[in-house]
Amino acid sequence: MRTFFLSYFAALTLFAAGCGDDETSPSGGGGASSGGEGGTGGTGGETGGAPSQGGAGGAGGGPIRCDEPASAVIGPDGGELSHCGATLTIPAGAVSAEETFTIAIEATPPEAPFEREFASPIFVITPEEPALNALLSLTLEHEAGDSRFELAWYDETEQTFFPINPCEVTDTSKQQFVGLLGTYTVLRDINDYPDTTSGLGDGTMNLDFLGAPSVFDLDSPGSYGIFENRADGGRNVTLIAQRDVEGGIERLRADVLLDEGGASGTLIQVEWLSTVLGGGYSYIDGLVGSDGTLDITETAEGRLVGSFSANVNGGNPPAEEPLAATFDVSAELFKFPPELECPGPR
């Protein structure tokens, strides 16, 4: 799981790295007119299938051939290139010299990620690493629907798509500012999720920590048990429960990786917070604290029963303290929706 998050962070870092800090004023050269503006191309069907590449209506001309790339030479004055549902906007001053930008549709796309389907064509936008003074705006149109849609960028090294938080969204489009071009698409999550975590999961975690036993109930306000499916057949489970104590609130969180079959797993994270103490203690597998253990079984009724323990780090001065808990809980399928993230051009 850590590999996934590190790769995702690295992908996002590339976007920022693609945009230089140089604020040199552009000089000379006018922007080239953009390619014809087309409507959204057809969408993909089953996971891993290629999106349709039907023709789209042209702006003031004949139909746009989605199976043929569109190009435009754009200079320091800026410009825009649109092709079959993808629009790349180059603001004035983003490039110091004329650059040829191209949008093409991938005819043999890679497989869609786990539990995702393509909701737009797969767009290959070049040059992949243009010399930029500011970020470019990329907007992709997608099919309408009540599903979760994600803007995604393809990492050639990892050979998979990584989701990107959008800046602006509509019912049929996702937009973000990027400093790295390449392969982009919109993905549709095949799952239907509850709107919030409220009321998800139930059961208790019985904690023994700092010499005082306590019970954390997943039915209490602000508490929940959720999971996400994994491509390897396992599940990422998050249990969060809080309780009122004299003078404040205590909160216990446990994240576990449940292996396929539900008979074993790995303790990923434990966190105990107290508003009374004004801080907390934590364990993160391989990073913070030590000696994390997990004993877990999924019952025939789908409940998760077991125990976990770890030496958690915290306090003032920082020190490790032993923490142990037993649990009998249920968790429900949930995924937090993408958050809006707008760095803006610079």
- 61-90 pLDDT tens trace: 456 689 899 999 999 999 999 999 999 999
Cβ atoms within 10 Å, residue 269: 19
Residue 204 has pLDDT above 50, yes or no: yes
Residue 37 has pLDDT above 50, yes or no: no
- 261-291 pLDDT tens trace: 999 999 999 999 999 988 999 999 999 999 9
Residue 250 has pLDDT above 70, yes or no: yes
Tokens representing residue 140 in the block: 């992709």
Per-residue pLDDT at 64: 63
Tokens representing residue 319 in the block: 């020190």
Residue 47 has pLDDT above 60, yes or no: no
| Domains in the chain: boundaries | 70-189, 202-333
Residues whose CB is less than 8 angstroms from the CB of residue 210 and which lie 6 or more positions away in sequence, other chains included: 321
Give Rg (Cα) of the chain: 25
Contact 152, 163 (CB under 8 A): yes
- 290-300 pLDDT tens trace: 999 999 999 99
DSSP states of 164-180 as a string? E--SEEETTEEEEEES-
Residue 56 has pLDDT above 50, yes or no: no
Q: Does domain 70-189 have CATH number 2.60.200.20?
A: no
Mean pLDDT, range 196-222, rounded to an integer: 97
3-state class (DSSP) for residue 11: helix
- Residue whose tokens read 């809006």: 340
Per-residue pLDDT at 277: 87
Per-residue pLDDT at 344: 54
